[in-house]
């Protein structure tokens, strides 16, 4: 019986009890959300080390970290180090996207050590077992899915929504098909002139997943890989199929989440989330970023965290992190740390804005510690305590600074919080009378004049004078 089956039968499982405790909500609320398909608890019956967690828009926004080796680098030891780094820095789930050697060894080690759900993309392993991707067969795909389910994988990305009839819709795209799974399947369909085997065998796949309670993560194989391709007919045609597959998986008792883009201009993100929620009947939306601009390779943990915040604000339930190495190379442990920090900030910012239970208290507690110059408490409460402490101690090392009423940013003389506190301690601040009878005239005020931006600086309608066509 899957968590979905149990929830529908009115049973509150141990996993539901545990996630209710973690989320500070009533277990019955968790059961209801799971029963309605609005939340998932990825819990393979064979993943013994797992501490259950929940993914759904009514719960705290979750963050996934991708790890995995490639043909070029990464073995079991380095992957375990990345897993450790990811969990240590707050990943709620981890996807093992290994495509190199020792796949079974890496997956087994990860599952043995991981307290968080482990996700995979089974087609990656299936491809490594054939000479050419066009040789993939339905039987091979099913056998890899079954083996990984037996091993204890908690959720799997299955790109069943890419249909043969969708492929012509990608003609003319700026960046074609950028999903690894999507591109492999598209090539397979073109070479074999046949429908996607993950689509035709979808009911058999669901039967396997339901046996081990593997959550299906419906992959978006046609996600846009550039702003130019966002929201195009190919993306939305696939989304319609993902909606159909969501309902079919639910019929099998399989828990479902749906994956989303990719690269999307900021002003289109909320609309995309709302569309997914509508088409897929509220199944949790698991988004990759999205990146809100294409211009910053090397900083795509930032470009995508901006989009991730917007997506979570609009209802996305889990954010798949992006590291600074996106588009450029395989992330190492430090990239994992940087990507996770960016995404945990994105998730938390959205949780604060969405009024999520307990989110805002964290900010207030840290601010109080900051104003009290309680450095130890400030470090403990920091998103990345080790980095906060290290940055502070770079310039003011030693125990005698732990109670200092300043840091090196403004220095002892100019520490505004110290000055402010001293002024309040001396008293009299609340006795100051403000004469606002004549108000402030921005035309004559010296302060207003110097703080005003130069003419045209903030006028986004005005382009550079030397831009093409400016003289037309």
409 touches ligand SF4 (CB under 6 A)? yes
Cβ proximity to ligand SF4: between 299 and 414 the closer is: 414
Please, is 419 exposed, middle or buried when counting C-beta atoms within 10 Å of its C-beta (0-12, 13-18, 19+)? middle
The H or E element containing residue 285 is strand 285-288
Cβ proximity to ligand SF4: between 291 and 381 the closer is: 381
Backbone φ and ψ of 126, nearest 5° = -60, -40
Separation between Cα atoms, residue 382 and residue 363, nearest integer Å: 9
Using CB under 6 A, which residues numbered 276 to 335 contact ligand SF4? none
407 touches ligand SF4 (CB under 6 A)? yes
Within 10 angstroms of residue 377's Cβ, the number of other Cβ atoms is 15
Residue from 109, 345, 352, 417 in contact with ligand SF4 (CB under 6 A): 417
- Which of the stretches 154-162, 239-247, 332-340, 408-416 binds ligand SF4 when contact is defined by CB under 6 A? 408-416
Q: Are 161 and 197 in contact (CB under 8 A)?
A: no
Strand 62-67 to 93-96 pairing: parallel
Cβ proximity to ligand SF4: between 252 and 392 the closer is: 392
Cβ proximity to ligand SF4: between 353 and 410 the closer is: 410
73 touches ligand SF4 (CB under 6 A)? no
Backbone φ and ψ of 74, nearest 5° = 105, 125
Residue from 416, 440, 448, 449 in contact with ligand SF4 (CB under 6 A): 416
Q: Are 85 and 56 in contact (CB under 8 A)?
A: no
Within 10 angstroms of residue 52's Cβ, the number of other Cβ atoms is 22
- Which of the stretches 5-13, 244-252, 352-360, 415-423 binds ligand SF4 when contact is defined by CB under 6 A? 415-423
Cross-strand bridge partners of residue 40:
55
The CB-of-169 to ligand SF4 minimum distance in angstroms stands at 53
Backbone φ and ψ of 156, nearest 5° = -130, 135
Residue from 112, 410, 423, 462 in contact with ligand SF4 (CB under 6 A): 410
406 touches ligand SF4 (CB under 6 A)? yes
**Helix residue ranges per DSSP H, 266-317:** 266-279, 300-314
Six-digit token pair at 84?
A: 């450790």
Cβ proximity to ligand SF4: between 155 and 375 the closer is: 375
Cβ proximity to ligand SF4: between 36 and 380 the closer is: 380
- Which of the stretches 69-77, 214-222, 232-240, 413-421 binds ligand SF4 when contact is defined by CB under 6 A? 413-421
- Which of the stretches 330-338, 412-420, 431-439, 447-455 binds ligand SF4 when contact is defined by CB under 6 A? 412-420
- Which of the stretches 46-54, 85-93, 248-256, 401-409 binds ligand SF4 when contact is defined by CB under 6 A? 401-409
The CB-of-391 to ligand SF4 minimum distance in angstroms stands at 11
The H or E element containing residue 133 is none
Separation between Cα atoms, residue 343 and residue 302, nearest integer Å: 9
Q: Are 204 and 137 in contact (CB under 8 A)?
A: no
Separation between Cα atoms, residue 286 and residue 466, nearest integer Å: 43
Torsion angle (degrees, nearest 10) of CA 306, 311, 313, 317:
-120
403 touches ligand SF4 (CB under 6 A)? no
The CB-of-414 to ligand SF4 minimum distance in angstroms stands at 7
The CB-of-53 to ligand SF4 minimum distance in angstroms stands at 35
372 touches ligand SF4 (CB under 6 A)? no
The CB-of-255 to ligand SF4 minimum distance in angstroms stands at 46
376 touches ligand SF4 (CB under 6 A)? no
Q: How many CA atoms lie within 13 A of 338 on its CB side?
A: 16
- For binding to ligand SF4 (CB under 6 A), which residues are involved? 406-407, 409-410, 415-418
């Amino acid at each position: 019986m899957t968590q979905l089956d149990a929830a529908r039968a009115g049973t509150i499982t141990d996993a539901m009890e545990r996630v209710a405790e973690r989320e500070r909500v009533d277990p019955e609320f968790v059961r209801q959300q799971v029963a309605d398909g609005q939340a998932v608890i990825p819990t393979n019956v064979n993943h013994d080390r797992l501490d259950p967690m929940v993914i759904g828009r009514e719960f705290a926004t979750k963050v996934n970290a991708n790890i995995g080796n490639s043909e070029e680098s990464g073995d079991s030891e380095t992957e375990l180090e990345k897993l450790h780094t990811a969990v240590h820095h707050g990943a709620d789930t981890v996807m093992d996207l290994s495509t190199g050697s020792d796949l079974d060894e890496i997956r087994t080690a990860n599952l043995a050590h991981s307290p968080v759900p482990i996700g995979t993309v089974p087609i990656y392993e299936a491809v490594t077992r054939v000479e050419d991707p066009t040789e993939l067969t339905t039987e091979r795909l099913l056998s890899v899915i079954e083996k990984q389910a037996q091993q204890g994988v908690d959720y799997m990305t299955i790109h069943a929504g890419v249909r043969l009839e969708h492929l012509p819709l990608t003609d003319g795209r700026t960046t074609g098909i950028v999903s690894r799974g999507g591109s492999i399947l598209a090539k397979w369909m073109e070479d074999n002139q046949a429908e996607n085997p993950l689509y035709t065998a979808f009911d058999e796949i669901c039967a396997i997943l339901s046996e081990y309670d593997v959550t299906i993560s419906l992959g978006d194989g046609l996600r846009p890989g550039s702003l130019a391709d966002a929201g195009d007919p190919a993306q939305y045609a696939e989304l319609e199929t993902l909606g159909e597959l969501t309902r079919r998986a639910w019929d099998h008792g399989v828990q479902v989440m749906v994956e989303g883009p990719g690269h999307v201009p900021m002003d289109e993100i909320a609309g995309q989330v709302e569309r997914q929620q509508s088409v897929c009947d509220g199944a949790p939306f698991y988004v990759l970023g999205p990146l809100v601009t294409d211009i910053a390779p090397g900083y795509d943990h930032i470009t995508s965290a901006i989009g991730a915040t917007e997506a979570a604000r609009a209802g996305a339930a889990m954010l798949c992190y992006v590291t600074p190495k996106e588009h450029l190379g395989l992330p190492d442990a430090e990239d994992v740390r940087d990507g996770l920090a960016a995404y945990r900030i994105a998730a938390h910012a959205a949780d604060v804005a969405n009024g999520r239970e307990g989110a805002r208290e964290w900010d207030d507690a840290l601010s109080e510690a900051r104003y009290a110059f309680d450095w130890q408490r400030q470090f403990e409460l920091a998103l990345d305590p080790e980095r906060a402490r290290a940055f502070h101690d770079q310039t003011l090392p030693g125990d005698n600074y732990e109670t200092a009423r300043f840091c090196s940013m403004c220095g002892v003389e100019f520490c505004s919080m110290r000055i402010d506190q001293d002024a309040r301690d001396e008293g009299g601040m609340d006795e100051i009378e403000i004469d606002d009878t004549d108000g402030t005239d921005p035309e004559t005020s010296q302060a207003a004049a110097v703080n005003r931006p130069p003419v045209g600086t903030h006028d986004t309608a005005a382009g550079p004078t030397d831009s093409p066509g400016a003289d037309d």
